[in-house]
Amino acid sequence: MPKLKRLLVSACFETAQRRRQCSRNKGHDISKGDRCLVIKENMSKNNYCMECAQLILEKAKEDLNGLILELDRND
């Protein structure tokens, strides 16, 4: 069977090895030892604090749910 195309970009939680800055809001600090969401897209790599990670994941879920609803529509 052909390999399934993955819709999601590569994302994972990591523990910050040093102090980082949230890519969505430069005012959000990610301290050393904090967990953060790392999203690799094309050639760039972005870190997000847990607050933004939750918003990003919830938005992704909404987007997917919207697509799934359309998939089931019969018109």
Task: Give the interface with Zn ion as residue ranges (CB under 5 A).
Answer: 22, 24-25, 28, 49, 52
* Minimum gap (Å) between residue 51 Cβ and Zn ion: 5
Best CA proximity match to 19, nearest among 34, 4, 5: 34
Which of 51, 63 has the CB closer to Zn ion?
51
Which of 28, 60 has the CB closer to Zn ion?
28
Residue holding tokens 């050393």? 32
* Minimum gap (Å) between residue 28 Cβ and Zn ion: 3
